[in-house]
Amino acid sequence: MSEELIPETPEQETEENEAAEAIKQRKNGLYPAVSDELAENMKSGWADTELHDLQPIPQAEHTANRRAALSARFPGERLVIPAGNLRTRSNDTEYAFRASTEYAYLTGDQTQDGVLVLEPTGGTGHEATLYLLPRSNRENGEFWLDGQGELWVGRRNSLTEAEQLLGIPAKDVRELPAALAEATGPVRNVRGHDASIEAALTDKVTAERDEELRVYLSEARLVKDAFEIAELQKACDATARGFEDVVKSLDKAEATSERFIEGTFFLRARIEGNDIGYGSICAAGPHATTLHWVRNDGAVRAGELLLLDAGVETNDLYTADVTRTLPINGTFSPLQRKIYDAVYEAQEAGIAAVKPGAAYRDFHDAAQRVLAEKLVEWGLLGDLSVEKVLELGLQRRWTLHGTGHMLGMDVHDCAAARTETYVDGTLEPGVCLTVEPGLYFQADDLTVPEEYRGIGVRIEDDILVTEDGNRNLSDSLPRRADEVEAWMARLKG
C-alpha cells in the first residue's frame, strides 16, 4: 500500500492506520503507488448493498445442535475451531480453499480465515462467536488494493448478514488475536488449520487436550443427522450421473486417455457440487491394480476393464465414494466376469452384514470370507483350507485393503475416532460407511495364471445403517454384471 492512501485526519488515524498496516504487512509492501486523486476517487460512489432480513441456511438448526453437544462435552472451557487459511501455490496464486471439516460441521460456513470460538458462560453453557473478515474497507483502499479485497475476490457477507444466515453472532476476525491473548481459563484448539491461531494460543493449550477435542469432533460425526443423510444421498445421486457421463464418453477416452474420464467426472462434480471429494481414480487396464491410481494418464483400451473410483462433494461438503469396474467395450470377458462376480458376491455378503447392533468389523469379515473361498476354489492358494487362509490372512495378497470406512464430510470420515468407538464399535442407525471389496492381480504377479495378471476389480457403495437394516445410497448405479452390461449398452446407444 502506498503511503498516500493512509488517512491523516487524527480522528481516523489509529483505526485506519492499523488496518492499513495489516494490509501492508500481508502484501509485503507491494501495492502499486497511486495518485492521491485516484485514491480519493475510489473511496466513494459505491451503492450500499447490505442485505436485510436474510433467512437462516437450512443447516442452521443442525449446526446449533452440534454446537450444543460440543458445549456439553467441554463445560467451562474455551473452544477454538478455525476454518483454515488459503495456501499459496505460487506468488499471489492460491490453491482452491476448502474449509476445515470441523469448522464447516459446527457452523455451516466455509469462509477462509474464519474461526468459531465457544466461550464458557459461567456455569455449563457456552456462547458461540464467529470471527470473520468483514466487508472490505473502502476508506483506506483495502477493497481494491489488497489481493483479498472484495474487488479482487468477490463480495463477502457483512458480519450482520453472516449472523442472520448462520445463526451465530459474528465479530471481526482481526480482533481475535487480542481476545485470545486476554483469555484466561482452559482453552482447546483444533490444530492443523490456522498457524496464527496456534501461535496466539501456544502458552494456553496442550497437545493432549487439543487431541481430545479433535477426537470428540471425529466421534460426533459417526452418526449422521437428517441433514447429513440428505447431503450424502445428494452426493451419491450426482456421482451416479457423473458415472453415466463417463460411460457416454468412453469412446473419447479411448481416443485420448484416462484424463478424459477424470475431466468428464470433474465437470459433473463442479456442475452439481463443490468439487470432487478426493482425487478420482480412473484406472484402465492394469492400472486398476494400483489402489490409488490418480495419475490417470494411461491408455483406455477396448477389451480391458476400467476401475472408476470417484465421488462428488456437495456444496455443503459431503462426499460420495463410489467404485464401479466396467468393461470398456461394454461386455465382460469370461475371466473378467468370473472375477467380477466373486467381488460382487463378497460385496453382497458385506452389505448384508451392515445393520444396527452388528460389530463394525462384521462386514469386512463377511466379504473377506467370500473372497478367500473364491481364491481357494480357483486353486490360487494350493490345498489350504479357507479357514487356514483366513487365519494366516493369505488372501490379502489379492484383496489388499480393508473392506470399507466411515463416510461423510471427509471421504475417510471420523478418522480421529478412537478404536473402541470406530473399528471395535457397534453399528447404529445413522452410521454411513462404504462397502468396497476388491481383487487385484498385479501385472507382475507370477503366482497367478498369466491371464489373471493386470486385472483389478473393486465395487464400492455407500451404505447407511437404518433402524431395520441398511440402505444403499448409491444403488442407482447397477452392480450385477448383466445389469452393468445392459446399462452400458443403453448409455453408449
266 binds ligand GLY (CB under 6 A): no
- The verdict on 97 binding ligand GLY (CB under 6 A) reads no
Helical ranges in 28-174 per DSSP H: 36-43, 60-73, 101-107, 142-145, 150-153, 159-166
Element holding 129 (H helix, E strand): strand 126-132
The one among 161, 194, 436, 462 contacting ligand GLY by CB under 6 A: 436
Sign of CA dihedral 417, 420, 422, 425: negative
When the beta carbons of 304 and 321 are compared against Mn ion, the nearer one is 321
Give yes or no for residue 219 binding ligand GLY (CB under 6 A). Answer: no
- Which residues face 324 on adjacent strands? 308
Within 10 A of 294 (CB to CB), how many other CB atoms are there? 15
Note whether 309 binds ligand GLY by CB under 6 A.
Answer: yes
- Which residue's CB is nearer to ligand GLY, number 163 or number 321? 321
**Which one of residues 144, 266, 278, 378 is an interface residue with ligand GLY (CB under 6 A)?**
278
* All residues at 6 or more sequence positions from 468 whose CB lies less than 8 Å from its CB, including other chains: 355, 356
Contact 152, 111 (CB under 8 A): no
How many Cα atoms within 13 Å fall on the side-chain side of residue 248? 10
Q: 303 — alpha (psi -120 to 50), left (phi > 0) or beta?
A: left
Query: Residue count at the site for ligand GLY (CB under 6 A)?
Result: 7
- Supply the minimum distance, in Å, between the C-beta of residue 216 and Mn ion: 24
Compute the least distance from the CB of residue 480 to Mn ion, in Å: 19
Q: Looking at beta carbons, which residue is closest to ligand GLY?
A: 309
Instruction: Check binding of 262 to ligand GLY (CB under 6 A).
Output: no
Q: Which residues contact 13 (CB under 8 A, 6 or more apart)?
A: 7
Rounded least distance, CB 281 to ligand GLY, Å: 6
163 binds ligand GLY (CB under 6 A): no
SS3 319: strand
- In whole angstroms, the minimum distance from the beta carbon of 404 to ligand GLY comes to 8
Within positions 393 to 452, which residues make up the interface with Mn ion, using CB under 5 A?
Answer: 434
- Per DSSP bridges, beta strands 78-82 and 187-189 are parallel
Residues 397-426 vs ligand GLY: string with x where CB under 6 A?
--------x-----x---------------
By CB under 6 A, name the one of 113, 304, 321, 462 that touches ligand GLY.
Answer: 321
278 binds, options ligand GLY, Mn ion, none, Cβ within 5 to 8 A by partner type: ligand GLY
Q: What residues make contact with ligand GLY under the rule CB under 6 A?
A: 278, 309, 321, 405, 411, 436, 460
